[in-house]
Amino acid sequence: MKITRERSLLLAIVFTLIAVGIHIYLARQHYALKYGALTGPSVCNVSSTFSCDAVAASSYSAVAGVPVAVFGAVANLMLVFFLGITLLGWTDDRSSTGRYALWLAALIAGASLIMGGVSLTQMATYCLFCIACYLLSFLSVFFTWKGTDGFTQVKEDFIALFSTRYWVLICALLIPGGAFFANTSIIKSSGVADIERYLGDFVSQWQGATAQNFASDKGLVFQKSTQEPRLTIVEFADFRCSHCRHAAPTLHAFAESRPDVKLILKFYPLDGTCNPSPLLGGRGDGISCQLAFIAQCEQKLRGQGWEAHNYIFEHQDQIVGISSIQELNERYCKDRPGNCEELLACTESQATRDEVRALAQEGIDAQVQGTPAIFGNGKLIRSGQVLPVLDAVYKASSKNQSDRTSNQ
């Protein structure tokens, strides 16, 4: 069956619109991750190898401060515009407009090749939705080529950009301009513009803070490699703390995207039944402590402490409504079946309670006032749940490491 030009253009529009939708989703995830507003991981996080959040947390996810996903969304929207007016004949020269659409489709596909190459050669983590966008860009090129005259008058079309077809050149310039405008508007409307402005102050405060000594093997530990960490992030968190829930995806994605970063979660229940902090005065209902006991036991018995961590935060809205430890245990065992008797026995053991208490004591010794409290190489990081702050501290710690090495 022969596909007509009109049907080819229609298919190109469909594939491009799908790409627009994916890019918009990735852009929203990028901003939420960047500024600590996520309530859970991306739907395309499959493993530590295929993690959209880890890619979004990497230094390759933005160009000149603008997320690559925003550039992709704007460019593909412009391509839809060119394809649409070509298909509908809303132009005085349908053939040349179609060829310009092919140019743009080819440029988007070329950018996909570059980003794919960067991902393969510079990163150990991949974004499945990004890969989908790459494939869609190739399909858009193919069907745009089938629906137009192809690359038949390249020289003439290029000259026309600066004479009779200057409107096409303006549209091309609107792509980066639109991306920068959208990025600026989103940052201003989110109320986080000051964070970018005062990054230097955050780093200076971190560098001037008193260094604390934390046990590097106590708590939940994550690092993507076995190399000596350049930056060790220690977070004190309470599982019923909403700010901790927002911080979790950002911290984990940041560590996933950098093999020389170690992330350590230390339980700090805001509950005096297991946390000896004088600020709590022994008061509490025991539920935050039980959540910490569960995660600690999942790590000891099954090596699944991070999985328990993720489950608890993903279901935090339901968990905060639980009024008793028995109800919590029943809910957890129902949703995460296994040897529940062994798990619950572990949570009631004195050893587990002493372990969680010891983790909380580390926070007390470090003068933790609330959660999340985030430290980098032993020093408190103000707004450490925000990606630009983490990245600035990481770069500063990398520079400090290089300076120490050069002085040896």
* Number of structural domains found in the chain: 2
Respond yes or no on whether the N-terminal peptide bond of residue 176 is cis (omega within 30° of 0).
no
Distance of alpha carbon 128 from alpha carbon 138, whole angstroms: 16
What is the pLDDT tens value at each position of the chain, 408 positions in all? Answer: 578 999 999 999 999 999 999 999 999 999 999 888 888 888 899 888 899 999 999 989 999 999 999 999 999 999 999 999 999 999 989 999 999 999 999 999 999 999 999 999 998 889 999 999 999 999 999 999 999 999 999 999 999 999 999 999 999 999 999 999 999 999 888 777 778 788 999 999 999 999 999 999 999 999 998 899 999 999 999 999 999 999 999 999 999 999 999 999 999 999 999 999 999 999 999 999 999 999 999 999 999 999 999 999 999 999 999 999 999 999 999 999 888 999 999 999 999 999 999 999 999 999 999 999 999 999 999 999 999 999 999 999 976 555 444 444
- CATH code of the domain containing 363: 3.40.30.10
Distance of alpha carbon 52 from alpha carbon 68, whole angstroms: 13
- 201, HSE (Cβ side, Cα atoms, 13 Å): 7
- Number of helices (H), then strands (E), belonging to the chain: the values are 17, 7
- Whether 182 and 117 map to the same domain: the answer is yes
Pairing mode, strands 261-267 and 231-237 = parallel
What is the pTM for the complete model shown? 0.88
- Whether 227 and 176 map to the same domain: the answer is no
CB 382 within 8 A of CB 199: no
- Whether 236 and 127 map to the same domain: the answer is no
Geometric angle at alpha carbon 404, from 400 and 405, rounded to 5°: 115
Geometric angle at alpha carbon 327, from 324 and 329, rounded to 5°: 110
- Whether 161 and 294 map to the same domain: the answer is no
- Whether 186 and 299 map to the same domain: the answer is no
CB 344 within 8 A of CB 357: no
- Whether 212 and 174 map to the same domain: the answer is no
Token pair 């090129």 is at which residue? Answer: 141
Geometric angle at alpha carbon 329, from 327 and 331, rounded to 5°: 70
Output Rg (C-alpha) for the chain, integer angstroms: 26
- Whether 373 and 293 map to the same domain: the answer is yes
Which of the listed residues 138, 164, 191 is the one where a domain comes to its end?
191
Give me the domain span that covers residue 99: 5-191
- Whether 228 and 187 map to the same domain: the answer is no
Q: Which of 313, 269, 268 is nearest to 38 (CA)?
A: 313
- CATH code of the domain containing 9: 1.20.1440.130
Q: Which of 260, 257, 276 is nearest to 50 (CA)?
A: 257
> Alpha carbon of 169 to those of 44, 72, 187, 206: distances in Å?
36, 18, 28, 47
Structure letter (DSSP) for residue 376? E
- Whether 151 and 208 map to the same domain: the answer is no
- Whether 211 and 322 map to the same domain: the answer is yes
- Whether 186 and 204 map to the same domain: the answer is no
- Whether 58 and 166 map to the same domain: the answer is yes
Which of the listed residues 154, 169, 191 is the one where a domain comes to its end?
191
Which of the listed residues 164, 191, 218 is the one where a domain comes to its end?
191
Geometric angle at alpha carbon 244, from 128 and 340, rounded to 5°: 80
Torsion, CA 165, CA 169, CA 171, CA 177, rounded to 10: -160
